[in-house]
Amino acid sequence: MSFLPAPTQLSQDQLEAEEKLRAQKSYSTALVASRREPPPYGHRKGWIPRSLEDFGDGGAFPEIHVAQFPLEMGRKKKTSNALAVQVDAEGKIKYDAIARQGQGKDKVIFSKYTDLLPKEVLNEDAPGLQKPDEEAIQELTEKTRTALEKQVSQKIAAAMPVRAADKQAPAQYIRYTPSQQGVAFNSGAKQRVIRMVEMQKDPMEPPRFKINKKIPRGPPSPPAPVMHSPSRKMTVKEQQEWKIPPCISNWKNAKGYTIPLDKRLAADGRGLQTVHINENFAKLAEALYIADRKAREAVEMRAQVEKKMAQKEKEKKEEKLRELAQMARDRRAGIKSHGDKGGEDSEARERDEIRHDRRKERQHDRNISRAAPDKRSKLQRDQDRDVSELIALGKPNPRSSSEAQYDQRLFNQSKGMDSGFAGGEDETYNVYDQPFRSGRDMASNIYRPSKNIDKDAYADDLDSLMHNNRFAPDKEFSGADHGQRREGPVQFEEDPFGLDKFLEQAKQHGGSKRPSTSNRSKDDYHDKKRRKE
């Protein structure tokens, strides 16, 4: 083959081999490729397809383990409501495009600072500031009236149960020249005239389309523009002041975070509030201290007074005993005492004793009123109470005894807390666990009448009424037989009035016309007697 000339026409295999060799050389030597194609198989190490040209006409490369989207297949389309940047005549960005989004093109929207400033009227004769003439007013009035009449007529027609057919529009005549000319077409005519008439609409036909769909309301008018002051750089102090700690709950921690104590206390807000103590607390403490001191002084003074009184009483008793002992010694020795002077001396001694006792009582009352005035008023109050008040207060039988009295219900309480709660059962409604004053003294003192209350009502017959047996069954009527005593119910004699004899006589005189009358009367009588028995 080396001696043969080179072929002018190459085969298909040779062409493909040369093409591959040329491609490899161009990929290895060229700095910039005019057309981006994926590298051949075996030379794709470290290569990642990024754009659509990297895939060529084929699909993804399985040996490259990255997410691949050939021809944008499988990629999620991102929808954005971002607007395109628009520039005004001066080259500044038109930010009012955001407020104008979804609005009509002719709607006036104020979004600039200059829109808030009043316009200066330079020329009063400007056409935009002039009033409309009469023709414009008339034309606008007629147009408004027509639109209102149309809306009202539509509302009335829709509300009527049967409506008339709508008026047809006038016929229209259309002249046209057909493209096919000749004797064989259009009956040899060069032009045609068509009469177009609106099709008659059936008034009873139901609507063909659903027109009751609720469409979303259009966007409202944009809010008034808020003019912000120019932004200024914040200082470190302002940044610290605007640093708001996060909300940290003292009860919930769903995520299980470990929160430092300083952060928890900062979120609690304890350092932000200052504690103010009311001055009344100091006044109250001082008043309590003074009252305690006064009470202690009063108790100490009362104890001293009682001690002195007891000492005086003891001295008086000792003096009296000493006098009695001296009198006894004198009487034993036969010496007449100075007190035995006769009846006058004894009467004077009695008067002195009475005077001494009364002075003692007055001193006792003065001591009580001076030491404990509330006790004196309480004693006097109990003395002046009525019987009903004493019963209501639980004091029906006040006994003057020297020994202290205690409420016996307070003793023998072995249940503890269960005594008032019925063993912890809330459903049982037992307000009182024991009866109030269940003894005999209470009933005898409250409900026993006085001795002479019945004598006022019945006078001297009370004893005879009490001893007389009024409801005894043995008491007989006057004129009755006292010798015969019955046992059991009352017994009647048969025919005590001689009615049978009278009926027999009437039967004899009357004959045998009505024989059943006397027998029926007799039977009635016996029935009545049986009923009485």
Q: What is the pLDDT of residues 423-478, one digit of tens each?
A: 556 666 666 666 666 655 665 566 555 666 555 555 556 566 666 665 555 556 66
Question: What does DSSP assign to residue 78?
Answer: P
Q: Report the distance separating Cα 451 and Cα 468, nearest Å.
A: 19
Q: Looking at this protein, which amino acid is placed at residue 292?
A: D
For residues 68 and 86, state if they share a domain.
no
The pLDDT, as a whole number, for residue 516 is: 47
The pLDDT, as a whole number, for residue 421 is: 53
For residues 65 and 48, state if they share a domain.
yes
Question: What does DSSP assign to residue 416?
Answer: T
CA end-to-end span of the chain: 167
DSSP 249-316: -SS--TT-----HHHHHHHHTTTTS-----HHHHHHHHHHHHHHHHHHHHHHHHHHHHHHHHHHHHHH
Given 23, 43, 74, the domain boundary residue is 74
CA dihedral 9, 13, 17, 20 (to 10 degrees): 110
- At residue 238's C-alpha, the angle toward residues 237 and 239, to 5°, is 90
Examine residue 406 and state whether it is found in any structural domain, yes or no.
Answer: no
Q: Report the distance separating Cα 145 and Cα 130, nearest Å.
A: 24
| Residue 443: half-sphere exposure toward Cβ, Cα within 13 Å | 4
- Count the residues in the chain: 533
Do the beta carbons of residue 387 and residue 446 sit within 8 Å?
no
For residues 70 and 98, state if they share a domain.
no
- Number of structural domains, the chain? 3
Residue-range definition of the domain harbouring residue 98: 82-114
Examine residue 227 and state whether it is found in any structural domain, yes or no.
Answer: no
Q: Report the distance separating Cα 302 and Cα 372, nearest Å.
A: 9
Q: Report the distance separating Cα 201 and Cα 157, nearest Å.
A: 15
For residues 33 and 52, state if they share a domain.
yes
Q: Report the distance separating Cα 431 and Cα 425, nearest Å.
A: 12
Do the beta carbons of residue 268 and residue 250 sit within 8 Å?
yes
- Cα-Cα-Cα-Cα dihedral sign, residues 470, 473, 477, 480: negative
Examine residue 207 and state whether it is found in any structural domain, yes or no.
Answer: no
Q: Report the distance separating Cα 132 and Cα 142, nearest Å.
A: 15
Given 306, 328, 350, the domain boundary residue is 328
Examine residue 49 and state whether it is found in any structural domain, yes or no.
Answer: yes
Task: Say what angle helices 279-333 and 343-371 make with each other, to 10 degrees.
Answer: 170
Q: Report the distance separating Cα 198 and Cα 175, nearest Å.
A: 17
For residues 67 and 48, state if they share a domain.
yes
For residues 86 and 55, state if they share a domain.
no
Show the beta-strand stretches assigned E in 74-231: 172-176, 192-196
CA 443 and chain centroid, separation: 50
- At residue 453's C-alpha, the angle toward residues 448 and 458, to 5°, is 130
The pLDDT, as a whole number, for residue 190 is: 86
Q: Looking at this protein, which amino acid is placed at residue 7?
A: P
For residues 87 and 69, state if they share a domain.
no
Examine residue 384 and state whether it is found in any structural domain, yes or no.
Answer: no
Do the beta carbons of residue 45 and residue 64 sit within 8 Å?
no
The pLDDT, as a whole number, for residue 515 is: 45
For residues 63 and 96, state if they share a domain.
no
CA 207 and chain centroid, separation: 52
The pLDDT, as a whole number, for residue 136 is: 94
Q: Report the distance separating Cα 406 and Cα 396, nearest Å.
A: 15
DSSP 506-519: HHHHHTTSSTHHHH
Query: CB atoms < 10 A from the CB of 222, how many?
Result: 17
Among 81, 49, 94, CA closest to 67 = 49
Beta bridge partners of 176: 192
The list of the chain residues with pLDDT below 70 reads: 1, 7-12, 26-35, 162-164, 269, 335-343, 371-387, 394-496, 510-533
The pLDDT, as a whole number, for residue 321 is: 93
Given 74, 101, 125, the domain boundary residue is 74
For residues 110 and 69, state if they share a domain.
no
CA dihedral 126, 131, 137, 141 (to 10 degrees): 110
Examine residue 324 and state whether it is found in any structural domain, yes or no.
Answer: yes
Identify the helix (H) or strand (E) that includes residue 151. helix 134-159
Examine residue 302 and state whether it is found in any structural domain, yes or no.
Answer: yes
Assigned token pair, 377: 């008023």
For residues 41 and 91, state if they share a domain.
no
For residues 63 and 45, state if they share a domain.
yes
Examine residue 439 and state whether it is found in any structural domain, yes or no.
Answer: no
